Structure 1
Amino acid sequence: MSLLPKVRMPRTRRMITLEVRATERLSPAFLSVTLGGRELAHLEPMGRDQTVRLFFPRAGQRRLRMPSRDSEAWMAELLLMPKASRPWVRNYTVRRVRPELGELDIEFALHADGPAAAWARGARPGDPAGVFDMGITHLPPEDAGWQLLVGDESALPAILAILDDAPGSLTADVFLEVPERADFRTGLRVPEGVTVHWLARDGAGPGAAALDAVRRAEPRPGRGYAWVAGESRLATGVRRHLVREWAMPKSDIAFHGYWRQGRSSVG
């Protein structure tokens, strides 16, 4: 059985060049960057965990050189660019879209000193950036009676976006692990059947608190659906527990290793 996640792609997509309009520090570990521009009209808002490839300049580059191909051939095009003009590219969830204003928000987890965190910290209005739509993976079956959403700080924006789009009838248990209590989000509006568990890592290894919490939880009756993302060992550990202990079919579990401790992303 393939472990590749199920993905729903937009009907059409293209390379979109935008610029920074604003930034906002949300907590010690989170920074929101608002991007905008006329080309955002070409993005089809899909909600949920809609993911984009985010392109941004390397340090010292005066402009952003985007790939021109609106297909997966962009990867080969990017690799053929000289490093002096090649942009950085990372995957990020669209936290919010405001089509009427031509704006979208992306939240950065500042858990590392990688290129994306450094760019977000230094982003200023007018700085160029680009996006390429990668679709959504939160695709619960219609007959799922409940959901389990689990993630660390890298998956927090996606899970919050999923909850923003959730129907009022949703029944779900949500486990959100962040670096410290100061990163908890207050005032979340969720359906009555949703229980959100905030977990502070407080110096422990990434994913340990969330994995332990899931192991102590009990499955609800009936068919469920799980969406799990974050550090690689968290995603695989939760999936393994759900399959072995909860007897959940693998087809009802979407899991994503967004990052791996001690290893930098490619590109």
Structure 2
Amino acid sequence: MATAVAAPFRFFSLHVVRTLRLSPSLVRVSFAGEDLRHFFSDGHDQSLSLFLPHPGQHEPRVPVELGDEGWWRGWRELPDDVRAVMRSYTLRGLRRDPDEIDIDFVLHTPAGPASRWAARAGAGDRVLLLGPAIADNRAIRFRPPEDTDLVLLWGDATALPAIASILESLPAGLRVRAWLEVHDAQDVQELTTAADARVTWLVGRSALDLLPGLPLPPAGNPYVWIAGESGSVKALRRHFVGERGIDRRRVTFVGYWREGLTEEQLREQE
């Protein structure tokens, strides 16, 4: 049984209940487990750490019995082919009665260990999740100030679950401009929102090539949320702050991954 970690986060023992192929590059995996009764989140870009087993393992190996201070070091000391694969994801959905969560996986090419796991995931497959036990927690980054009159969103395929959830949460009448980068036209999804939103899908294109000459709606108090590949995120932040003159305190930027690096290598550089 999974044990508590540092509040407001803890481990959750989960299993797959179903999968849904959303597009050639995206698959949604739904998880359940008794532990989810302790899972709470009010965020729309809630970050999670998912631990996956290696091929041939019945469940992921994470020494949660070592508690708050010891599990990370114990996990790092396990052999590479034994230690559970850890990847960061965004919560896509949370349901009660029964308790279930959804996580959308990008099926990268070439496939890494998480993509391979997701592509063949089936009912009953077991995972561990490090997630929130308190609804308002530090792994929620989308926090527009109350006076926001324009929301600007950018993300690549890894940020699509968060942006879809954010759009669903926004109130009617709020002006929103969103740019979503995907590799395949079949990855384009129908997104739901009550906001006054204009969503631009960039198939095989970069917002960095588009935004410099693009006029934005006039706004007194814009808020920017950008997430995805770290290099692109940093460049877009410089654009919005340096060229658009948006107060850096009203720009949230999150690097979900970095070109050419595994998540393990990225974490080692932090």
TM-score under structure 2 length normalisation: 0.86
Residues 90 and 116 in structure 1, CA contact (< 8 A), matched pair in contact too: yes
Residues 151 and 210 in structure 1, CA contact (< 8 A), matched pair in contact too: no
Distance 2:236 2:147 in 1: 22
Matched, 1:99 2:99: no
Aligned to 1:215: 212
Which deviates further from its counterpart, 163-172 or 67-76?
Answer: 67-76
Distance 2:175 2:67 in 1: 38
1:132-171, CA deviations, whole angstroms, 9 ceiling, x for partnerless residues?
1262111111122111110010111111111122222432
User: Residues 62, 226 of structure 1: CA spacing in aligned structure 2 closer, same or farther, 3 A cutoff?
Assistant: same
Matched, 1:125 2:129: no
Matched, 1:86 2:101: no
User: Residues 211, 95 of structure 1: CA spacing in aligned structure 2 closer, same or farther, 3 A cutoff?
Assistant: same
Q: How does 1:171-182 map to 2 (within 5 A)?
A: 171-182=175-186
Give the deviation of 1:126 after TM superposition.
0.4
Matched to 2:144, the amino acid is P
Matched, 1:48 2:44: yes
Higher helix content, 1 or 2: 2
1:240 aligned counterpart, secondary structure:
helix
Aligned to 1:238: 236
Distance 2:224 2:241 in 1: 11
Give the deviation of 1:58 after TM superposition.
1.3
TM-score under structure 1 length normalisation: 0.87
Matched, 1:61 2:64: no
Distance 1:179 1:63 in 2: 32
Matched to 1:81, the amino acid is L
Mind listing any 5+ residue stretches in structure 2 that lack a counterpart?
1-5, 133-138, 266-270
Aligned to 1:163: 167
User: Residues 60, 14 of structure 1: CA spacing in aligned structure 2 closer, same or farther, 3 A cutoff?
Assistant: same
Q: How does 1:188-199 map to 2 (within 5 A)?
A: 188-199=191-202
Aligned length: 251
Aligned to 1:35: 31
1:34 aligned counterpart, secondary structure:
strand
User: Residues 241, 25 of structure 1: CA spacing in aligned structure 2 closer, same or farther, 3 A cutoff?
Assistant: same
Aligned to 2:268: none
Distance 2:69 2:245 in 1: 36
Matched to 1:100, the amino acid is D
Residues 145 and 223 in structure 1, CA contact (< 8 A), matched pair in contact too: yes
Mind listing any 5+ residue stretches in structure 1 that lack a counterpart?
1-9, 202-207
Residues 56 and 129 in structure 1, CA contact (< 8 A), matched pair in contact too: yes
Distance 1:98 1:146 in 2: 30
Distance 1:21 1:34 in 2: 6
Which deviates further from its counterpart, 77-86 or 113-122?
Answer: 77-86
User: Residues 177, 70 of structure 1: CA spacing in aligned structure 2 closer, same or farther, 3 A cutoff?
Assistant: farther
% identical equivalent positions: 37
Q: Which of 256, 259, 267 is the equivalent residue of 1:258? A: 256
Distance 1:72 1:226 in 2: 35
Distance 2:94 2:195 in 1: 25
Distance 2:17 2:200 in 1: 33
Distance 2:75 2:169 in 1: 34
Cα RMSD, aligned residues only: 2.0
Aligned to 1:185: 189
